[in-house]
Structure 1
């Protein structure tokens, strides 16, 4: 039996300030709020149910939740939570999800929007260097959001060498 997976629907990201994070994604990536599951001060959050459902650290309070639409691809669900023993954003060397990648057509304009929104770039765009990914104009760079989540900007306008050996393809917006 095969699972009936179609693709990634959304990513959930815990942020320290949902308003700041929403504004960041709007400015950096032209994301739009689809809906607000719960706003700050909302009475419709059952913290005990959230704690059990998501296996949150005991005592964590969910302050707000909203779903954003990116111009193309999966959505981003933002969670503002506060609780005991809360840690900073994971580094790429830590276990768990280490980054998400956003496909871009124009690095310069995307980097300008990303940094104007409060993000910090680690590098300038550089060529994809793994043999399976190389190609004219294929490039990437990394940065972080104001709260420390790592984001990759990537573009591959040229076919990748791996495509010669399999019918499987990376998803491309």
Structure 2
């Protein structure tokens, strides 16, 4: 049984070292628009620990919310007033994550990233077997070290022929 009243995902939230850099990156390369930005937020009591599971003295410098009309991003920038990790987790770390962006033409998209000086990890992987046959994907890095991914499956994926569940499809 799911949470009563559950609808859909509202947003993906993550922390960056420089919110203006993140806003520019997602605006320039992925057509996200800034809906609003606010902050700072500082709590004098234990609110930060109780509600956000961070150091009680942590300070949020800014929060920005952006959208590309299919997904919302809630981006945080914390102040450097506490000891915290300054390295983004990788996929093998607990809490490791990535955001995947669908593209219609993988080769053009990878060429664009490289022309923009964005680090692409390897070359696109083309899935030929299993449930993801028909999909190609490649990871790349944001300027602050967050893992991102490009995905393409213009003719669909193999699982679609045998599964009764249809995954969200941005095509």
> Contact (CA 8 Å) 2:48, 2:55: kept in 1 or not?
no
Determine the structure 2 residue equivalent to 1:67: 65
Gaps of 5+ in 1: none
Contact in 2 for aligned 1:28/1:116 (Cα 8 Å): no
Q: 2:20 is matched with which residue?
A: 19
| Higher RCO (C-alpha 8 Å, min separation 6) | 1
Given the alignment of the two structures, is residue 107 of structure 1 paired with residue 106 of structure 2, yes or no? yes
* Distance across 2 between alignment mates of 1:5 and 1:130: 35
DSSP-derived class of the 1:133 partner: coil
Which is further off, 7-16 or 163-172? 163-172
Relative to structure 1, is the Cα distance of residues 115 and 37 closer, same or farther in structure 2, using a 3 angstrom cutoff? farther
Number of the residue aligned with 2:143: 146
- What RMSD over aligned residues (CA atoms) do the two structures have, in Å? 2.2
Aligned match of 1:53 = 51
Q: Is the alpha carbon distance of 1:11 and 1:2 closer, same or farther for their aligned partners in structure 2, counting shifts above 3 Å?
A: closer
Q: Which 10-residue stretch deviates more, 61-70 or 155-164?
A: 155-164
Partner of 2:94: 95
CA 1:129–1:98: 2 relative to 1, 3 Å: farther
CA distance in 1, matches of 2:29, 2:137: 16
Cα shift at 1:152: 0.9
Gaps of 5+ in 2: none
Q: Give distance in 1, aligned partners of 2:115 and 2:9.
A: 28
Shift in Å at residue 106 of structure 1? Answer: 2.6
TM-score normalised to the size of structure 1?
Answer: 0.83
Q: Distance in 1 between matches of 2:52 and 2:116?
A: 29
The count of corresponding residues between Structure 1 and Structure 2 is 165
Instruction: Give the conservation status (yes or no) of the 8 Å contact 1:60–1:81.
Output: yes
State how far apart, in whole Å, the 1-side matches of 2:25 and 2:115 are: 9
CA contact (8 A) 1:24 1:118 kept: no
TM-score, normalised to structure 2's length? 0.84
State the alpha-carbon separation in 2 of the partners of residues 82 and 55 from structure 1. 16
